[in-house]
Structure 1
Amino acid sequence: MKQRHDQTSRVLLEQESVISVSAVITTCGRPELLRKAVRSILEQTYEGDIEVVVVFDKIPVDELRDVEVPHGRRLTTIANTRTPGLAGGRNTGILAADGEVIGFCDDDDDWHPQKLAQQMAVWEAAPQAVAIASGIDIRTDGTNIVRIPPEQVTFDNFLRSRVTAIHPSTMLYRREDLIGRIGLVDEQLPAGYGEDYDLLIRATRFGDIYSTPEPWWAFSGTGHRSLPAVGRTSLLVCRISWPSFQSLNGARREQPGLPGKWRLRKPRWGTGNWHASGHVAHCAEIGCSCAPTLL
């Protein structure tokens, strides 16, 4: 099955027509920053069609009529019709988008004009990649911090580290993956915290993430943005049934060398499932088949 999908992906990225891209922006009330972000996407040098889908979360829809839309570009403004918050907003945008590839952008970020062209070139060279990232340039409070991600990041890499240089506003995914084998952004995580990490872990079960070696994304707001620094000691939520929890706990007792310990948590989010929490490495080390998510 995986081989068949890889072959399909290769055809998608090697076909003669230029692949269309939809960029999804969720916003909740920063009109000037939003317009800057939108324009940075509409002004991409990428030759394919680009659609910007702006999802307004818990605020009235602004049609952005003052934003000029060049030829080969489209701008769509819609309301969040799913769970309030970033995850629901992004999913609303994904489902409304027409592009073969989906990119995310926050409303206070902007893309370098060559971002899409450079990332799509990387994808053409590595069609087996499940997603594409880029470096980031954080410009705040008079400082300029550049973070360049590894050229290739695997599922095991993400189990051991959040790899903070891979930022959600740089990511490109195939739309068919997000509505299919990977799944949409998880809207049930508490307060939406860690939904990007969860998506990266789920995505890399099907392939590696490749990155460009340059910072094609920038955050230039006036405040400080704190990027999550998640390591081996971060707590994860492992969504499992009660029998599975007993099995996992028994596995730990049989392997006393494992760091930390599992703790039973009450059912959350109305699922009726029990949850266990432990260190990020646990799921891999004791053979749990779940996709752990950040707590």
Structure 2
Amino acid sequence: MPKVSVIIPAYNAMLYLPKTVDSVLKQTFTDFEVLIINDGSSDHILEWATGLQDPRVKVISQENQGLPGARNTGITHAQGEYIAFLDADDLWEPTKLEKQVYCLDNKPIVGLVYTWTILVDWQDNPTGRIFASHAEGNVWQQLMETNEMCNGSSSMVRRCCFDTVGVFDRSLKSAEDLDMWLRLAARYPFAVVKEPLTLYRQHSNSMSKNRERMIENLRIVIEKTFQSVPLDLLHLRNRAYASLNVGLAWLAIEEGDYKKAIHFRQQALLHHPKIRYSQKFIRLSLAILLIRWFGPHGYDGLRSLSHFLYWQILSFAR
């Protein structure tokens, strides 16, 4: 049996899928299987798959069930002790699996290990943004307040954990990964590999761009989660909504709409006034101020400059 099962849901993803699979096959850790779940695609995925020479790669076809259903099919067929999830348009650095396997092998109480994430554009160029969370151990509250893990392609989970918490919620059309991580975090400690080993692609077809659906499903996840928490944790519900509104304000910043960002910022304060002291909120307020002063294009230029300087400093430090 393979040590790791890599699950890649694919729906009309041939624009990126070959490079995604290639990033798996180039891993320094080699004891894995790759399960590509063809979720009712109408592109030429099956013809492409017949040309793959690596016996570790398998394609499982089904009628379209959405991302949660495709992941669940992968879990059902997985033979590995550990399961790693990878979206069909994201990429891994070569040592990702090796370092995550080492972590789970040496920390038997940990249920999930994730990595830091670099955001890249459709041509794989770094945008300058990086998600670098230090949350580990009992992370449930941090996940509830800030969704520290940010994406579904950085996680590796012990297969046995799904026997305890169940599989992905197929009723959710987005935010199903946050729902799963919260259920896992309620039962198991998490660990993090503090290196940017996951490349998260941003492009116009990204599911996260469907804002209304995303908001609706995040609300569902928040309400679902707080249906069963102890009474002494109910105060975190308002913090979760405050964090959600800060995230929506940042999306408005990405669109250059500072008035909408101000609206969501105010909603965040109404839910949790102390959020004004958080680093994310302070950065948001600064971004709003810069857009008001310099306009969206001026703000983009300043942000690009700050990202460039950040990467230069990071490269020098290495």
Q: Structure 2-normalised TM-score?
A: 0.61
2:158 matches 1:158:
no
Q: Which runs of 5+ in 1 are unaligned?
A: 1-17, 261-278, 282-295
On the 8 A contact 1:134/1:170 being kept in 2, the answer is yes
On the 8 A contact 2:6/2:84 being kept in 1, the answer is yes
Of Structure 1 and Structure 2, the greater helix share is in 2
Q: Match of 1:36?
A: 19
2:82 matches 1:98:
no
Q: Match of 2:117?
A: 136
- Deviation digits for residues 88-132 of structure 1, max 9, x if unmatched? 011011101111111110110111110000111222332211101
One of 15, 32, 50 as aligned partner of 1:50: 32
On the 8 A contact 2:226/2:237 being kept in 1, the answer is no
On the 8 A contact 2:120/2:200 being kept in 1, the answer is yes
Q: Which secondary structure state, in structure 1, belongs to the residue aligned with residue 79 of structure 2?
A: coil
Q: Match of 2:307?
A: none
2:223 matches 1:237:
yes
Q: Which amino acid aligns with 1:33?
A: Y
In 2, Cα distance between equivalents of 1:234 and 1:224? 22
Q: Match of 2:7?
A: 24
Give RMSD over aligned pairs: 3.6
In 1, Cα distance between equivalents of 2:194 and 2:93? 14
- Pair 240,113 (structure 1): closer, same or farther in 2 beyond 3 Å: closer
One of 49, 56, 75 as aligned partner of 1:74: 56
Shift of 1:240: 9.5
On the 8 A contact 1:133/1:166 being kept in 2, the answer is no
In 2, Cα distance between equivalents of 1:240 and 1:135? 28
- Pair 125,280 (structure 1): closer, same or farther in 2 beyond 3 Å: farther
Of Structure 1 and Structure 2, the greater strand share is in 1
Shift of 1:67: 2.8
On the 8 A contact 1:130/1:207 being kept in 2, the answer is yes
Q: Match of 1:214?
A: 195
Q: Where do residues 2-13 of structure 1 align in structure 2 (5 Å cutoff)? A: none
Q: Which amino acid aligns with 1:169?
A: S
- Pair 155,258 (structure 1): closer, same or farther in 2 beyond 3 Å: closer
Report runs of 4+ in structure 1 exceeding 6 Å deviation.
Answer: 227-230, 257-260
- Pair 93,259 (structure 1): closer, same or farther in 2 beyond 3 Å: closer
Size of the aligned set, in residue pairs, is 226
Q: Match of 1:84?
A: 65
- Pair 221,158 (structure 1): closer, same or farther in 2 beyond 3 Å: closer
Q: Match of 1:173?
A: 157
Q: Which runs of 5+ in 2 are unaligned?
A: 239-269, 273-318
Shift of 1:157: 1.8
Identity %: 25
Q: Where do residues 214-293 of structure 1 align in structure 2 (5 Å cutoff)? A: 214-220=195-201, 222-223=203-204, 226=208, 236-238=222-224
Q: Structure 1-normalised TM-score?
A: 0.66
